[in-house]
Structure 1
Amino acid sequence: MRRFFGWAFTTASLLSLASVGAASAADMAVKARPALPAPAPVYNWTGWYAGVNGGWAFDASSTGSLVASTPGFAGAIAAGGTPTFFGAKHEGGFGGGQVGYNWQMANWLVGVEADIQGADIGRTSTIIFPGGAVFPSVSTGRDHIDWFGTLRGRVGVTAGPALFYATGGLAYGGVRTNISNVFTPAAAGSFFGSDSSTRIGWAAGAGVEWGFAPNWTVRGEYLHVDLGRSNVTMFDPVNFPAESATYRFNHVVDAVRVGVNYRFGGPVVARY
C-alpha cells in the first residue's frame, strides 16, 4: 500500500509540473514576422514633356564652290581675282525649346519629339587679291543659319533613371547666303549675289537623359543636321550685265546641346 501511494504521488507531481510548463509556454509572446522591404522605386518615362535646350554648332561642309561662270570670268578666275571657293564655315550658338511624348515598354522606350531653335550659326570668309593680271579685288562669302528645327523619332533603352537613345527624322531651317566679288576700281566689276530661303532636310543623332528629380530630367545630345544645298549667283548689272558666277553652298552642321525637360502627368518615379 505504501508503494502504491508513492507511485501515485510521483505521478501527480510530474503531471503538475507538465501543466505548469504548458501554461508558461502559452503565456510567452509570439514573435512577429519581419516586415517585407518596400519595393524599389522604378522610373516611368511614359508621358508628355516639354523643355528648353541650348548648344553649339560647327561646320560639317559649307564651303561655297564655284559651279558655273560666264566666259568673261575666265581671266579673273585664272588669275585669282575671282575665287573658286569660299571657306564660309558654319559656327555659332543656338537655343530653343522642345516638346515630345514617350512610351515605355519594359526597358525599351519609343517616342516622338519636335523642337525649334533660334540660331546665329555662320562665319564670313574674306579673300583679298592684291592685283596682277587683273585688277585688285576683295571677295566675301557668308552662309548663315538663322533658325532650325526638327521633327524626330526616338528609340532608346532605360536603366532606372537613365535613358540612352538614338534619334532621327525631318529637319528644316532658315538659311541666308551672301557673296560678293568687288574689283578696284569699281568700274572693273562689282558683283553681288544673295539667297534667303527655308530649307528642308534631315537630322540624326544620339543622346543620354537622366532623371535627377521627380518630373525633371536633364540631357546631352549630338545631332547631325543636313539642310541640303543651294546655288547662289552673283551679278554686276551695271558694268557687266551679261557676266555671272554661281557658287554652291552646303548647309550642314554638327550640333551638340544640353537640355532640361519637365514631364507632365505625375512624378517620374513610380512604384510597382
Structure 2
Amino acid sequence: MKSLVTSLAMFTALTAAATAADLPRRAPPPVFTPVPVFTWTGFYAGFNAGYGFDASSSSTPTVIGVSPQNNLFAAGNVPTTGVIAFSNTRNNEGFVGGGQIGYNYQFTPGSGVVVGIEADAQYVDFGAQRNRFSFAAPAGSTLVPGALVYNPNGLSGLDYFGTVRGRLGYAFDRTLVYATGGFAYGSGGGRQFGTGVSSNDFQTGYAVGGGIEYALPTDSFLNFFRSSAVTLKVEGLYVNLDQSRNNAGAFANNNFGTQISTTTPGVTLVSGPANLRRNTTEFAVVRAGVNYKFGTY
C-alpha cells in the first residue's frame, strides 16, 4: 500500500511538470515605434536658377532740343544747337541664378499652416543696353568737354538683385504651397549716356510672388542624401525697384555743372513724356530651386 501511494505521488508530480512545460511562455509585449511625421520646421539652404522677364511698359522715345546757350554741344569751340534722342528700349530679360537661405515653422506636423522667412541673392544677365542713347546735331558737333548727358528714364542693365521675404503657406504633408513678399534691392552697372563714364545705381523696392515646394521621400532616386532633407521648388516673383530720383526731371549737366531739364530756358521737349524722371525697374522671375533642410523630420 505504501508503495502504491508513493507511485501515485511520483506520477502526479511528473504529469504536472509535463503539463507546465507545454504551457506557452509569457513574453514581453512588442515595443511600439511611431512612424515619423514629416514637418517643414527647420533651417534650409539651397540654390536656384531661372529666367527674368521685363515687366515695364515705358518705351516711348524721348527727343529733346537743346539751344547753344546751354553749353552742351560744340562745333569746334562754338556752341551749337543739338537734339538728344533717347530710344528708351528696354531689355530687362535674361538668365537669373543664385542661392537662398531660410527658416520655416509648421504649427502642426503632417498638414497645416507654415510660416517662414527667406533671403536670397541673385546674379542677373540682363541687357546692358536697356536704354540706348543717341543724338543728332550739326555735322562735326560734339559734347562740350565736361558735359554729362544721361537718360532720365533710367540707367542701363542690372548686375544683381536680392530679397528678404516672409513666407506663408499650407502644407499637405510633403507638399507646400505658399505666398511670399517683402523687401528687394539691386544694382545696375551702366554708362552715363554720351559720356563713356561708368556708374552704378543702387535701388530698393519690393518683391511679391508664390510657389510650390515638395520634399522628396527617402527612397526617391533624386534624394541623393537618402533622407527627408531634400526639397524641390518652383517659384514666381514680381520685383519692382525704385531707382534714385536725384536727377528727376534732369537729363544733362553742362560743363559748368548746371543741371539741364525741359524747364530750362532754351530746351524744348520735342517728343516723349512731359515729366521726365527715372522710372522703376520692373521684372518677373520664374525659377526652380533645390534646398537642403537641416534635420530630417
* TM-score, structure 1 normalization: 0.65
> How far did residue 46 of structure 1 move?
0.4
State the Cα RMSD in Å. 4.1
CA contact (8 A) 1:70 1:244 kept: no
Amino acid at match of 2:293: R
CA contact (8 A) 2:66 2:84 kept: no
Which one of the candidate residues 107, 115, 121 is aligned to 2:126?
Answer: 121
- Identity rate, percent: 36
Larger strand fraction of residues: 1
- Alignment partner, residue 88 of structure 2: 86
Change (3 A) 1:257 1:170: same
Instruction: Measure the CA separation in 2 of the matches of 1:108 and 1:136.
Output: 68
Amino acid at match of 2:230: W
Instruction: Measure the CA separation in 2 of the matches of 1:80 and 1:205.
Output: 45
> How far did residue 69 of structure 1 move?
6.5
User: What does residue range 1-150 of structure 1 map to in structure 2 within 5 Å?
Assistant: 42-61=37-56, 63=58, 71-72=66-67, 81-106=83-108, 107-124=112-129, 125-126=131-132, 135=139, 143-150=156-163
- Alignment partner, residue 21 of structure 1: none
Change (3 A) 1:108 1:243: closer
- Alignment partner, residue 225 of structure 1: 239
Q: Secondary structure of the equivalent of 1:43?
A: coil
When Rg is computed on C-alpha atoms for both structures, the one with the higher figure is 1
- Alignment partner, residue 22 of structure 1: none
> How far did residue 242 of structure 1 move?
6.0
> How far did residue 237 of structure 1 move?
5.2
> How far did residue 80 of structure 1 move?
10
Instruction: Measure the CA separation in 2 of the matches of 1:62 and 1:154.
Output: 29
Give ranges in structure 2 of 5+ residues lacking alignment. Answer: 1-21, 25-29, 69-80, 142-148, 217-222, 262-275
- Alignment partner, residue 10 of structure 1: none
* Structure 1 residues 71-112: Cα deviation after superposition (integer angstroms, max 9, x where no partner): 529xxxxx9942254113211212211111101013110001
Amino acid at match of 2:123: G
Instruction: Measure the CA separation in 1 of the matches of 2:37 and 2:201.
Output: 47
- Alignment partner, residue 166 of structure 2: 153
* Structure 1 residues 100-127: Cα deviation after superposition (integer angstroms, max 9, x where no partner): 1101013110001111112222342546
CA contact (8 A) 2:253 2:259 kept: yes
- Alignment partner, residue 199 of structure 1: 203
Instruction: Measure the CA separation in 1 of the matches of 2:185 and 2:160.
Output: 9
How many residue pairs were aligned?
Answer: 219
Instruction: Measure the CA separation in 2 of the matches of 1:118 and 1:259.
Output: 14
Instruction: Measure the CA separation in 2 of the matches of 1:229 and 1:84.
Output: 18
CA contact (8 A) 1:57 1:92 kept: yes
* Structure 1 residues 8-66: Cα deviation after superposition (integer angstroms, max 9, x where no partner): xxxxxxxxxxxxxxxxxxx9x9xxxxx9x997763210011111111111211275778
Q: Secondary structure of the equivalent of 2:156?
A: strand
Larger helix fraction of residues: 1
> How far did residue 193 of structure 1 move?
6.6
* Structure 1 residues 132-167: Cα deviation after superposition (integer angstroms, max 9, x where no partner): x85599x99762111111111000011121110000
Instruction: Measure the CA separation in 2 of the matches of 1:174 and 1:128.
Output: 24
* TM-score, structure 2 normalization: 0.60
CA contact (8 A) 1:64 1:247 kept: no
Amino acid at match of 2:183: L
Which one of the candidate residues 240, 262, 268 is aligned to 2:292?
Answer: 262
